[in-house]
A and B are shown apart, each in its own frame.
Chain A
Amino acid sequence: MADHSPLRLNVPEPEVRPGGKPDFSNVKIPKAGSVDRPPVDVPPEDIRDMAYSIIRVLNRKGEAVGPWAGTLTNEEVLSGLRDMMRVRAFDRRMLTAQRQGKTSFYMQCLGEEAIACAFRKAMEDGDMNFPTYRQQGLLIAGGYPMVDMMCQIYSNTRDPNKGRQLPVMYSSKKFGFFSISGNLATQFPQAVGWAMASAIKNDTRIAAAWIGDGSTAESDFHAGLVFASTYKAPVVLNIVNNQWAISTFQGIARGGSGTFAARGHGFGIPSLRVDGNDYLAVHAVARWAIERARRNLGPVLIEHVTYRAAAHSTSDDPSAYRPKEESDAWPLGDPVERLKNHLVAVGEWSPERHKQAEAEIDAEVLAAQKEAEAFGTLHSGPKASPRDIFEDVYDKMPPHLRRQRQEAGY
């Protein structure tokens, strides 16, 4: 065997780096309304193409078109717009609070608001999310008090987590929001297990798993898919593809696979791809997937195609690895603007009312912030008791922890 040239390692690179001109010409965007809506009991093998397309409802004129349109009343859409605006205002305020030293850390979901907000509206009370740290919209759209979220961020005396967790690692069983962990992807098979439990108990509740594009490379992602597939667990497996995992572009996690949604094919899981910046499309796809799961027809994988418009976290500077103008060039636009334009187009909204709503929501968030800060911030005012770190390690405090608590002076 001769004449083989030396082997070479392939290390994918994004199209553009800082200083370059953003280029998304390789992102194929189908026309709104052009993707079929199959019946919820469709065999997975009949819809394999959907993992390579993008379900979209809102067209450039702001009209809701095609077979996925019409899952919400105008009133519900207006409420959805307010949810997204609330999430954005909340993020803006908490980002500032971090910069002012009122807390140590924060993570925005700028540009991704539609995904969690719309998905939450397709769920029912009692269903359970296994979120990542970038689904704050699930809480806000689910009616969880913003004050409690802020208290968690400030680690103050009213922090539901008693100051034990980093900011944004919320937990609320009552609001269907599983305790967030810093360890990526672990919640993915946990969601499948929760759904299996619901099936074991002949319940009707479903679970939703959440993961980012980067974390799909974790082994827990694959474990989650295997178990969901084997036991036909009533779970919706959400991948939020925001193109970036900190500084790493999605090509590093995706490799040679056409899309993240296509990963579901090998597991026999129906896999859809949706415009993550289109509130109406996300809601329609979520409703379809949730109905399929609730009818015991098994899991659904959804890839939400979006763009992480802000820094990864308050500890990150994206200008070091991607062009500053890249988010402006993102072809799926901004979810808030697009839904606003839709409501204006159908005569339910106006730029003036939008401005007024922005002011109302800002005031609402500010009032929540004031209330939260009355219970303390990380470095000023009262905070959770140091005594509390020894509680909840176990259901009952074992002797060695009692000794250590006393040694610590509590």
Chain B
Amino acid sequence: MPRMTMIEAIRDAHMVAMERDDDVVVFGEDVGYFGGVFRCTQGLQERFGRERCFDSPISECGIVGTAIGMAAYGLRPCVEIQFADYVYPAYDQIVSEAARIRHRSAGDFTCPLTIRMPTGGGIFGGQTHSQSPEALFTHVSGLKVVVPSNPIDAKGLLIASIEDDNPVIFLEPKRLYNGPFDGHHDKPIIPWSKHPLGDVQAGHFTEPLGKAVVRREGSAVTVLAYGTMVYVAEAAAEESGIDAEVIDLRTLLPVDLDAITKSVRKTGRCVVVHEATLTSGFGAELSALVQEHCFYHLEAPVRRVTGWDTPYPHAQEWTYFPGPARIGAALAEVMEG
């Protein structure tokens, strides 16, 4: 099986989807000739031509707005927002339009659109290259929200997103582009070539949207995570010696409630982790779901370990980023409860 980084897997997913369906078009800032600032679309223009993969003006509302029009025509656009931190100019188009066109027209028009955007911190990206805005999308009816954590999922979930008939927000943790990251920023980086999830099947395959995966089986406490935090949670479990079950949600909307309840009813405890800020973050929704559906199984209050309610800092990155030590402390705390 070919070894791929997450970048190569995303690129390969584009290749497969574009090869299979002439209606798939790819565009965004710097994605054409140059192949993207993270190289995720490298080679697509050369292979499929300028009409299938092209550079766009620097206008996020224009990128998403035109993509919606293309989807209404019958294409399957897969567009890139260079950083999730820059999606806000397109927010009106995403929330008021892409998410609602099917509903408001009673299915007369649809919006099979994928919007990719690098997300998350851990790279000294400061305020505007580190944000995790997933909660701004999980609050919007009509969207699907996907966050892969490894090359296999990145490819399988991206192909599934492009083939899905609904608008999908596809958040790519850029800290994971070249290798997994467990929050130990002082240790050398392990590349995907040395990780089993870097073994990516060639050709077409999909991973289902709306399905979580158990990354580490455990019996003491359930950790709900996605993106980079999956590895941080795994590290926290190993280092704390607490037998945590780590669930990689993969899709945040619609979320896999069955997988969550199954695990929490087994362990009786739950810690939710994400990089995004705490207040009204997606963790609040997860915590509420666990409380509603697993109340009589809970042995301790649900804990959330998240970014602080501040803009993402530069110099103080490792104080902000919820690393394995903070998660470990939370695991220990819920075990006392």
Residues on A lying within 8 angstroms of B by beta carbon are 128, 130, 160-162, 164-165, 169, 171-173, 178-179, 181-183, 186, 188-201, 207, 219-220, 222-224, 226-227, 230, 392-395, 398-400
- The residues of B that contact A199 with a CB separation of less than 8 Å are 51
Contact partner, A197, options B69, B164, B255, Cβ 8 Å: B69
Contact partner, A171, options B108, B141, B254, Cβ 8 Å: B108
- The residues of B that contact A392 with a CB separation of less than 8 Å are 102-103, 106-107
Q: In the docked arrangement, what's the CA distance between A19 and B167, Å?
A: 51
Q: Are B257 and A186 in contact (CB under 8 A)?
A: no
B146 within 8 A of A: no
A-B Cβ contacts below 8 A, count = 144
- The residues of A that contact B210 with a CB separation of less than 8 Å are 398
Nearest CB in chain B to that of A189: its residue? B65
Ranked 4 nearest A-B pairs via Cβ: A193-B69, A193-B66, A189-B65, A223-B62
Q: Are B69 and A190 in contact (CB under 8 A)?
A: yes
Tell me the smallest distance from the CB of A32 to a CB of chain B, in Å.
36
- The residues of B that contact A398 with a CB separation of less than 8 Å are 210, 254
Tell me the smallest distance from the CB of A250 to a CB of chain B, in Å.
23
Q: Are A219 and B104 in contact (CB under 8 A)?
A: no
Q: Are A226 and B69 in contact (CB under 8 A)?
A: no
- Most interface-central of A169, A189, A198, A230 (chain B CB within 10 A): A189
B101 within 8 A of A: yes
B162 within 8 A of A: no
B89 within 8 A of A: yes
B68 within 8 A of A: yes
Q: Are B61 and A171 in contact (CB under 8 A)?
A: no
Report if A164-B103 is in contact (Cβ < 8 Å); known contacts: A179-B108, A197-B75, A200-B51: yes
- The residues of B that contact A193 with a CB separation of less than 8 Å are 65-70, 72-73, 77
A selection of 24 A-B contacts at a CB cut-off of 8 Å is A128-B72, A161-B104, A165-B104, A171-B104, A179-B104, A186-B92, A186-B93, A186-B96, A190-B66, A190-B69, A192-B66, A193-B72, A197-B69, A200-B51, A200-B75, A220-B92, A224-B62, A224-B65, A226-B62, A227-B57, A230-B56, A230-B57, A394-B142, A399-B254
Q: In the docked arrangement, what's the CA distance between A305 and B332, Å?
A: 71
B114 within 8 A of A: no
Q: Are A173 and B108 in contact (CB under 8 A)?
A: yes
Q: Are B97 and A219 in contact (CB under 8 A)?
A: no
Tell me the smallest distance from the CB of B56 to a CB of chain A, in Å.
8
B316 within 8 A of A: no
B74 within 8 A of A: yes
Nearest CB in chain A to that of B25: its residue? A200
Query: 17 additional contacts, CB 8 Å, given A227-B59, A398-B210?
Result: A162-B106, A171-B105, A171-B109, A179-B108, A181-B97, A183-B96, A190-B69, A190-B72, A192-B69, A193-B65, A194-B70, A196-B66, A197-B25, A226-B57, A392-B107, A395-B165, A400-B254
- The residues of B that contact A219 with a CB separation of less than 8 Å are 61, 89
Contact partner, B109, options A178, A188, A220, Cβ 8 Å: A178
Report if A197-B73 is in contact (Cβ < 8 Å); known contacts: A173-B109, A189-B66, A220-B61: yes
- Most interface-central of A164, A188, A394, A400 (chain B CB within 10 A): A394
Tell me the smallest distance from the CB of A183 to a CB of chain B, in Å.
4
B41 within 8 A of A: no
Q: Are A226 and B59 in contact (CB under 8 A)?
A: yes
Tell me the smallest distance from the CB of B91 to a CB of chain A, in Å.
11
- The residues of B that contact A207 with a CB separation of less than 8 Å are 69
Nearest CB in chain A to that of B54: its residue? A231
Report if A188-B142 is in contact (Cβ < 8 Å); known contacts: A164-B103, A171-B104: no
Nearest CB in chain B to that of A398: its residue? B254
Q: Are B96 and A181 in contact (CB under 8 A)?
A: yes
Q: Are A198 and B73 in contact (CB under 8 A)?
A: yes
Q: In the docked arrangement, what's the CA distance between A312 and B132, Å?
A: 41
- The residues of A that contact B96 with a CB separation of less than 8 Å are 181-183, 186
Q: Are B101 and A179 in contact (CB under 8 A)?
A: yes
Nearest CB in chain A to that of B254: its residue? A398
Q: In the docked arrangement, what's the CA distance between A315 and B104, Å?
A: 22
Contact partner, A183, options B51, B92, B141, B144, Cβ 8 Å: B92
Nearest CB in chain B to that of A171: its residue? B105
B166 within 8 A of A: yes
B204 within 8 A of A: no
B131 within 8 A of A: no
Q: In the docked arrangement, what's the CA distance between A219 and B74, Å?
A: 25
Contact partner, A188, options B57, B59, B65, B67, Cβ 8 Å: B65
Q: In the docked arrangement, what's the CA distance between A393 and B77, Å?
A: 20
Q: Are B110 and A194 in contact (CB under 8 A)?
A: no
Nearest CB in chain A to that of B23: its residue? A201
Q: Mark B148-179, 1 if CB is under 8 A from A, else 0.
A: 00000000000000001110000000000000
Nearest CB in chain A to that of B210: its residue? A398
- The residues of A that contact B77 with a CB separation of less than 8 Å are 193
- The residues of A that contact B216 with a CB separation of less than 8 Å are none
Contact partner, B103, options A192, A222, A393, Cβ 8 Å: A393
- The residues of B that contact A182 with a CB separation of less than 8 Å are 96
B52 within 8 A of A: yes
